[in-house]
Every structure is written in structure tokens, then in C-alpha cells.
Amino acid sequence: GQNIDQPTEMTATEGAIVQINCTYQTSGFNGLFWYQQHAGEAPTFLSYNVLDGLEEKGRFSSFLSRSKGYSYLLLKELQMKDSASYLCAYKVSGGYNKLIFGAGTRLAVHP
């Protein structure tokens, strides 16, 4: 089957670091995505991991462990504008552009 889980909500303080976890179970896997979605807007691409390890891109980093079916998104130096939903999704093996999304994690950043 296809299953992907992430926490529903998280809160953090401006300037802090937050880690959003994502676990998945699938018989076919071809990469893990993270998207950011502000309320009422379209999702925007943050990162893509296909190999194990950490990918860093400015204040955002994403980690993948394929053997554990686990990924996380790390946000550093949090800003108020980082308040949004963060969606993890995996690409189905052989499915090209078919993505299976988690329900999303709503992050609230407080002053």
C-alpha cells in the first residue's frame, strides 16, 4: 500500500530551529519532496531527495533515509513568513510525475 505520515501541527519561536518529520511506506519509491504552502496559495517546491543524506539550501535542509522510510525538513532562523503548511510527498517508482502527499504539517511561528 501507500502510506505517508507527518505531524498535523507544530509551533515554534521566531529565530529558532524546527524539524518536521515525515515517514512513508511504499513498495516503490523514487524520491521525496517537500513543498511549502501558504494559506490560500499554491504549493511551492522546497526540496527533492532521491539519495540518502542531507541536502542544504539556505535556511532549509532536507534529510532522507530510504532504509528507514524517513525524511525530515529542517528550518533554521525561523521567520514569521515561514508560518505555512509543509507537505512531504514521495514520487511513485515508475510513476514519473505521480506524487503521493502527506496531509501536511501546519507550522505557526510566534514572535
Partner 1 sequence: KAGVTQTPRYLIKTRGQQVTLSCSPISGHRSVSWYQQTPGQGLQFLFEYFSETQRNKGNFPGRFSGRQFSNSRSEMNVSTLELGDSALYLCASSEDRRNYEQYFGPGTRLTVT
Residues contributing to the site for partner 1 (CB under 8 A): 31, 33, 35, 41-45, 48, 50, 87, 89, 91-92, 95-104
Q: Alpha-carbon distance 92 to 2, whole Å? A: 9
Q: Residues 89, 102: contact at Cβ < 8 Å?
A: yes
Residue 14 CB, nearest distance to partner 1 (Å)? Answer: 27
Q: Of the two residues 14 and 52, which places its CB atom closer to partner 1 in the complex?
A: 52
Type of residue found at 3: N
Q: Of the two residues 7 and 31, which places its CB atom closer to partner 1 in the complex?
A: 31
> Would you give the DSSP letter of residue 77?
S
Q: Of the two residues 67 and 97, which places its CB atom closer to partner 1 in the complex?
A: 97
Q: Is 4 left (phi over 0), alpha (psi -120 to 50) or beta?
A: beta
Residue 54 CB, nearest distance to partner 1 (Å)? Answer: 18
Residue 99 CB, nearest distance to partner 1 (Å)? Answer: 6
Q: Of the two residues 70 and 101, which places its CB atom closer to partner 1 in the complex?
A: 101
Residue 43 CB, nearest distance to partner 1 (Å)? Answer: 5
Q: What share of the chain is helix, strand, coil (3-state, %, to 5)?
A: 5, 55, 40
